[in-house]
């Protein structure tokens, strides 16, 4: 394991350069430099709000209006991808990454231009009716929401419209989980960016890759429980470090 930034930058560039079936695994930390707060760790949302009050499925079902009001007031709709998202697009185009598996729900990987994004925790841009299962774009429901909160389903009148974001107490979307598992089992390299690696089952994906022989590189602001098993670990800001790695690869 390397932690000295100069040598680690070269080592991570070499690791990614060798990747032929690479996979990125990202968490909330990659979007912090886009202005979206993360959950755990210094300055995280959970230091200010109780997750079980605002983001648990039971609370949502009891009081959807409370969830929607929180969400309308706290969700950033104008966030833009930062250089870390862009670096992952570059790695994919150069053939070093097959996909980005993300725990994020902000859609910034897609906005940056990543071709294959597996969303393990759903999307804050899509809303589903829990009664008739019709899906709607978030912007449409936000419009209704401003007139009447909680909004009801435009198709069936049902009372429970929910962003496809996976709340505490809910399972992960089966298809996304299956996709992520097969990418992990086939991966030669996994690049982990901005994740505390404390949230399961999502953190089981890089673990599965490790068990199937993948090498791991980590870029995260704080130490993670996987640091000891990684080939390279760099502690710092993803939006600064990833572009450095890319320029080192370009000049190699």
Residues that bind ligand NAD (CB under 6 A): 27-29, 31-33, 36, 38-41, 44, 103-106, 121, 194-196, 198-199, 220-222, 237-238
- In angstroms, what is the minimal distance from the CB of 160 to ligand NAD? 21
Closest CA to 194 of 185, 183, 206: 206
Which one from 96, 121, 148, 235 is the annotated catalytic residue? 121
- In angstroms, what is the minimal distance from the CB of 206 to ligand NAD? 11
- In angstroms, what is the minimal distance from the CB of 211 to ligand NAD? 20
140 or 240: CB nearest Zn ion: 140
- Per the annotation, the verdict on 121 as an active-site residue is yes
Question: Per-residue x/- marks for Zn ion, 148-167, CB under 5 A?
Answer: -----x-xx-x---------
117 or 144: CB nearest ligand NAD: 117
153 or 218: CB nearest ligand NAD: 218
111: which 2 tokens?
């906005």
110 or 145: CB nearest ligand NAD: 110
Contacted entry of ligand NAD, Zn ion, none for residue 156, CB cut-off 5 to 8 Å set by kind: Zn ion
Residue located via tokens 């725990």: 103
Report whether 45 contacts 38 (CB < 8 A). yes
- In angstroms, what is the minimal distance from the CB of 81 to Zn ion? 32
Contacted entry of Zn ion, ligand NAD, none for residue 96, CB cut-off 5 to 8 Å set by kind: none
Q: How many residues does the chain have?
A: 252
Could you give the CA distance from residue 25 to residue 102 in angstroms, rounded to a whole number? 6
Could you give the CA distance from residue 114 to residue 127 in angstroms, rounded to a whole number? 22
13 or 219: CB nearest ligand NAD: 219
Closest CA to 117 of 212, 183, 172, 162: 183
Could you give the CA distance from residue 67 to residue 20 in angstroms, rounded to a whole number? 42
Contacted entry of Zn ion, ligand NAD, none for residue 36, CB cut-off 5 to 8 Å set by kind: ligand NAD
- In angstroms, what is the minimal distance from the CB of 55 to Zn ion? 22
Question: Per-residue x/- marks for Zn ion, 97-136, CB under 5 A?
Answer: --------------------------------x-xx----
Q: Which residues bind Zn ion (CB under 5 A)?
A: 129, 131-132, 153, 155-156, 158
Catalytic residues: 121
């Amino acid at each position: 394991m390397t932690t000295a930034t100069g040598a680690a930058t070269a080592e991570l560039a070499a690791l990614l350069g060798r990747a032929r079936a690479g996979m990125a695994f990202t968490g909330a930390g990659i979007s912090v430099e886009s202005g979206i707060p993360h959950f755990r760790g210094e300055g995280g949302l959970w230091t200010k709000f109780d997750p079980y009050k605002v983001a648990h499925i039971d609370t949502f079902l009891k009081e959807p209006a409370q969830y929607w009001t929180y969400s309308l007031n706290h969700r950033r709709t104008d966030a833009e991808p930062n250089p870390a998202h862009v670096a992952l697009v570059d790695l994919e185009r150069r053939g070093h990454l097959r996909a980005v598996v993300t725990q994020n729900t902000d859609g910034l990987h897609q906005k940056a231009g990543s071709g294959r994004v597996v969303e393990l925790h759903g999307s804050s841009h899509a809303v589903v009716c829990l009664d008739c299962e019709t899906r709607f774009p978030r912007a449409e429901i936000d419009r209704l929401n401003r007139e009447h909160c909680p909004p009801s389903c435009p198709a069936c009148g049902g009372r429970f419209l929910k962003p496809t974001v996976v709340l505490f107490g809910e399972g992960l979307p089966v298809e996304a989980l299956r996709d992520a598992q097969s990418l992990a089992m086939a991966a030669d390299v996994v690049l982990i960016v901005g994740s505390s690696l404390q949230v399961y089952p999502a953190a089981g994906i890089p673990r599965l890759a490790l068990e199937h022989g993948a090498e791991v590189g980590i870029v995260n602001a704080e130490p993670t429980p996987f640091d000891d098993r990684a080939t390279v670990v760099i502690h710092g800001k993803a939006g600064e470090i990833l572009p450095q790695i890319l320029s080192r690869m370009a000049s190699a």
